[in-house]
Structure 1
Amino acid sequence: MSSPTPQLISPVQLPSIQLPGLGPVLLALLPNSGPTVGGNTVTLFGLGLAGTTSVLFGGASATIVGQDPLGLTVTVQPPAHAAGSVLVTATNGAGTTNPVSYTYVVTAPPATPTAAAIIPPTGPTTGNTPFIIAGSSLQNGTVTFGLTPATVLGTDPTGTVLFGITPAGPAGGGNVPVTVTTPGGSASVPGGYTYVPPAPVVTGTLTPVTAAAGSTFSIAGAQLFGATVLFGATPASGVAVNLAGTALTGTIPPGISGSTVAVTVQTAGGTVSAGSFTYL
C-alpha cells in the first residue's frame, strides 16, 4: 500500500478589513498631538490601511515604522513641523484616506540642573560608597567624579535628590570635581568630593637607622602614596614613592650629630611610626 503524497500548505493570508466599496478609512490618531521636532511615535487607526505606502502630516512625509496585516493600524514617526494643527492622510493601492487632525505643540526645553551638595562629601579611594546629591532638575542625570562615571541609581520623583554609588578614586586620595549632566545641561557640586586613602602601613623600620644627614633612606610598607617623612619635626627632602605605594626613598634632613629622633610617615590617610633614627 503506497503512502499518500504530502501536500504543501500555503501560508494563510489574512484579508485586509475594509468597508465594501470604499477605499482606506482613517478613524483616529493616538496620540493626536506631539512635539514640533517630530520623531515621536503615532499610531493611525482605521480600515483598509494594509499596504500603506505614504502617510502625510500637513503634506510632509512621515516615517512608517510598522503596520498590521489586517489593515487596522499603521505606526509612524511624524516629521518636524511648526506649531499648529495639520491634516493627516494615509495612502495605499486602494486610494487615500479621509484626513484626520493632528496638533504640533512646542515643548519646553528641559530645565537646567542645579547641584547644591553631595552627602557624604568624603569617602575611601576604593569607591563603592553610596551618595546622594541634593539639587533640582536632576532627572535622567549622569554623574562623574573627576573623569570617572559614577553608578546612578535614580532620583526622587521631584528630581531634587539623586542617588548613586561612587567610583574608585586616585590611589593617593584627594579632591575631585563632581559634575551632574542631564538633557538640560550640567552642574558642578560645590566643593567636589574628597577621596581619603587608607592609613599608611610601615613594614619594619626605615633603612638605615643611623647615618649622616644627606644620606639616602628607604621605608617599606603599604598605602604610602603622597607620603611626607618627618625626622623629628624636620621633613625629609626628595621623597619618592613607587607606583604600588609599597616603598619610598628620600634624603635624610639636617640634624644634630649623636641625637636620636622619631621618624614618622604622614599621608592623607593618617600617620604611622617608622621607628627611630640616630644622626652620625
Structure 2
Amino acid sequence: MSAVVQQAAIAQPTDSWPGGDWGGGGGGSRYPRLFNVTPSQGPTTGGNTVQLNGANLQGATLVTFGGTPATIVSIDPYGNSITVLAPAHAAGAVQVVVTTPWGTTNPVYYTYVVVPPPGPTVTALVPNTGPTTGGTAFAITGTGLTGATVTFNGVPATGVSVNAAGTLLTGITPPGTAGNVPVVVTTPAGSATVPGGFTYTAPPPVATSITPPSGSATGGTAFVISGSSLTGASVTFNGVAATGVSVNAAGTSLVGFTPAGVVGNVPVVVTTPTGSTSVPGGYTYTAPPPPVATSITPATGSTAGGTAFVISGSSLTGASVTFNGVPATGVSVNAAGTSLVGFTPAGAAGNVPVSVTTPGGSTLVPGGYTYV
C-alpha cells in the first residue's frame, strides 16, 4: 500500500486540516503531511539516515518512529523533506509521524529488520613466525572478531580472547610442521583468512650433555651429544669440525669422533639450520697416554736395512720409530694403536736401541734390535 493510499485510509480529526491544506478562512498556515520515507526499512540498531518526503514540514519539532524520537539532521526550508537518523527499535513495521507547530502529520510506515553482523576482517598477525613446537603468543587485529575461533592449518589455537570492541584477538599457537600455513578466523558471521598466514620454523638446537666429557688430544674419541632439535647438526671442538657426525631420527642424539686438539678444556658448539648452541661444560682434551712397546719381530736383521718389522704394544697411534737414532721407513700403525710396522734403516753390526715416539711420549722396545 503506498504512503498516499495509507494516508487516505487514516481518518483525520475534524480539525486536522480545516479548510483543506490551509487554516480556517484561508489565511492560516498549511497543515503538514507525509508521502513516504526513503529508505522504507533499516536495521533494528538504528543510526541510519532516513529522508521523510511530504509537504508543509518546515518548523518540525519532533519526528517519531513507533513513538521513539528520531534525531533531526536537517529540514528542507520549503518543507518538502526532513532528514533524520532513525532510532533503534524492535523488528517490524512502525508508524513514522512528524510534529510541527501547525500540527501532526499523517503516519507513514517504516520497517525495522534484523541485519546480521558483518563477517570478520583481519589486517595483521603479530608475530607471523614461531617454532613448530607451538606455544607462541600472538595477536590478530581487525574488525568483527567477537566470538571468534582461530585455526593454524586447521588446528585450533588455544587461549583465544577478544577485546570488547571486537578489534583485537589474542591466543597461543598450536604445534605445527615447518613451513607457511593458513590462519583462519571464524565468527558466527563468517570466516576470514589472515594475509600471509603463519610460518612455523624448526626450533634451535638444545644440547644438554656430551659423553665422554674428556678424551685424548690426539682426537678420534667417539662421543655422544644428547639434546633436542639436533637434526642436520654439525659439531666443532674449539672451532675444529668433528668427523663422522650422525643424528638419530628424533633429533635427540648425535654421535661423532673428536678432532685432534690441544690439552685443556675447549668449547663444543652444535650448529643446525635454525641456530647454534654450546654444550654445557665443553670438552677436556687430555694428554695422550705414553706408548707401550712389548716386542719387536724379528729382533735381528741385516746391517743393510730394509728388513720388515712389527712392534707390538699399545697407544702406538701417531708413532715414529728410530733404530739407534736413525728413523725407520714406511711406518704405519693399526687403528687400535696396538701394532706398528715398518722397515729398518741401515746400521752398524751389533745391538742398538729402538725408540717409539708418539704425541704421548717415548719408550724403548725391550731388548732393542741386533744388526748382523
What range describes the TM-score normalised by the shorter chain of this pair?
0.3 to 0.5
* TM-score normalised by length of structure 1: 0.46
Which one has the largest radius of gyration?
2
Greater relative CO, 1 or 2 (CA 8 Å, sep 6+): 1
